[in-house]
Chain A
Amino acid sequence: MSIPVVEVTDLHVSFPGVHAVRGVSLAVHPGECVAVVGESGSGKSVTARTLLGLTGEEATVTAGRLAIEGVDASGFRERQWRSIRGRVIGYVLQDALVSLDALRPVGREIAETLKLHRAAPRPEIPGRVLDLLTEVGVPEPTVRARQYPHELSGGLRQRALIASAIACGPRLLIADEPTTALDVTVQAQILRLLAERKQAGQALLLISHDLAVVAELADRILVMKDGVVVEDGPARRVLGAPEHAYTKSLLAAVPRPGNRTTVPGDVVIRAEGLVKAFKGRTAVDGVSFELRAGQTLGVVGESGSGKTTTARLVLGLLKPDRGTVEVDRRQTQVVYQDPLSSFDPRFSVRRIIDEALEVGGTPRHERRRRAVELLEQVGLDESVLDRRPLKLSGGQRQRVAIARALAPRPRVIVCDEPVSALDVSIQAQVLDLLTGLQAELGLAYLFISHHLGVVHHVSDHVLVLKDGRAVESGDVHQIFTAPADPYTRELLAAVPGGHHDQTDPSRRALPGREQHDRLVRPQVG
Chain B
Amino acid sequence: MIRRILTRLGTSVLVLWGAVTVSFTALHLTPGNVVDVLIGSSVVTPEVRARIIADYGLDEPLVVQYATYLGRVLRGDLGRSYQLHEPVVSAIGAQLGPSLQLAGVSLLVAVVVSTTLAVLTARRRPWIRGLSSGLELVGVSIPTFWTAILLLTIFSFQLGWFPAVGADGPAALVLPVIAVALPITTLLTQMMREGLELVLEQPFVLTARTRGMSDLGVRLRHALRHVLVPTVTLIGWLVGLTVGAMVAVEQIFSRPGVGQLTLTAVGGKDLPIVMGVVLLTAVLYVVVNVVVDLLYLLIDPRLRGAA
Contacts and interface: CB of A to CB of B under 8 A. Distances in A.
A92 to B, nearest CB: 8
A454 interface: no
A54 B210 contact: yes
B302 interface: yes
Given A101-B222, A102-B302, A86 B211 contact: yes
A101 B208 contact: yes
Interface stretch (A109-117, A193-201, A471-479): A109-117
Given A148-B301, A148-B302, A99 B203 contact: yes
A232 interface: no
A86 B301 contact: no
A278 to B, nearest CB: 15
Contact of A161 (B202, B207, B212): B207
Contacts of B202: 98
A150 B302 contact: yes
A99 B204 contact: yes
A398 interface: no
Interface string B183-227: 000000000000000000011101111111111000000100110
A100 B212 contact: no
Interface string A302-336: 00000000000000000000000000000000000
Given A116-B211, A164-B211, A54 B204 contact: no
B60 interface: no
Highest count of chain A CB atoms <10 Å: which of B202, B207, B209 = B207
B15 interface: no
Contacts of A95: 203
Contact of A86 (B210, B215, B299, B302): B210
Interface in A92-108: 93-95, 98-104
Contacts of A93: 203, 206-207, 210
Contact of B213 (A82, A102, A104): A82
Contacts of B226: 102-103
B300 interface: yes
A82 B210 contact: no
Interface in A447-469: none
B129 to A, nearest CB: 13
A498 interface: no
B213 A112 contact: yes
Contact of B214 (A82, A91, A150, A151): A82
Contacts of B300: 102-103
Contact of A91 (B204, B210, B222): B210
B292 to A, nearest CB: 17
A100 B211 contact: no
Contacts of B211: 85-86, 112-113, 116, 164-165
Chain B, interface residues (CB within 8 Å), range: 20 to 34
Contacts of A54: 206, 209-210
Interface in A160-214: 161, 164-165
A281 to B, nearest CB: 14
A349 interface: no
Nearest to A83: B212
Contacts of A52: 210
A292 interface: no
A99 B302 contact: no
Interface string A70-94: 0000000010001111110011011
Contacts of A84: 212
Nearest to B125: A57
Given A148-B301, A148-B302, A150-B302, A116 B213 contact: yes
A215 to B, nearest CB: 26
A44 B293 CA distance: 44
Contacts of A164: 207, 211
A274 to B, nearest CB: 29
B213 A100 contact: no
A151 B302 CA distance: 9
Contacts of B208: 101, 112
Contact of A99 (B207, B214, B225, B305): B207
A302 B204 CA distance: 25
A98 B209 contact: no
Contact of B203 (A83, A85, A98, A165): A98
Interface string A133-175: 0000000000000001011000000000100110000000000
Given A113-B212, A116-B212, A100 B206 contact: no
A5 to B, nearest CB: 15
Highest count of chain B CB atoms <10 Å: which of A86, A93, A103, A150 = A103
Contacts of A101: 204, 207-208, 222
Contacts of A104: 222
Highest count of chain B CB atoms <10 Å: which of A83, A87, A102 = A102
Interface in A332-365: none
B1 to A, nearest CB: 15
A24 B33 CA distance: 89
Contacts of A112: 208, 211, 213
Given A82-B213, A85-B212, A116-B212, A91 B207 contact: yes
Interface string A29-57: 00000000000000000000000101000
Contact of A100 (B207, B215, B301, B305): B207
A121 B300 CA distance: 30
Contacts of A151: 305
Contacts of B214: 78, 82
Interface in B219-244: 222, 225-226
Interface string A476-488: 0000000000000
10 contacts: A54-B209, A82-B212, A82-B213, A86-B210, A86-B211, A102-B300, A103-B225, A104-B222, A150-B301, A151-B305
Task: List 4 A-B pairs, minimum CB-CB distance, nearest first.
Answer: A91-B210, A86-B211, A86-B212, A85-B212
Interface of B: 202-204, 206-215, 222, 225-226, 299-302, 305
Given A52-B210, A117-B212, 18 more contacts: A54-B206, A82-B213, A85-B212, A91-B207, A93-B203, A99-B203, A99-B204, A100-B204, A101-B204, A103-B226, A104-B222, A109-B207, A112-B211, A112-B213, A113-B211, A113-B212, A151-B305, A164-B211
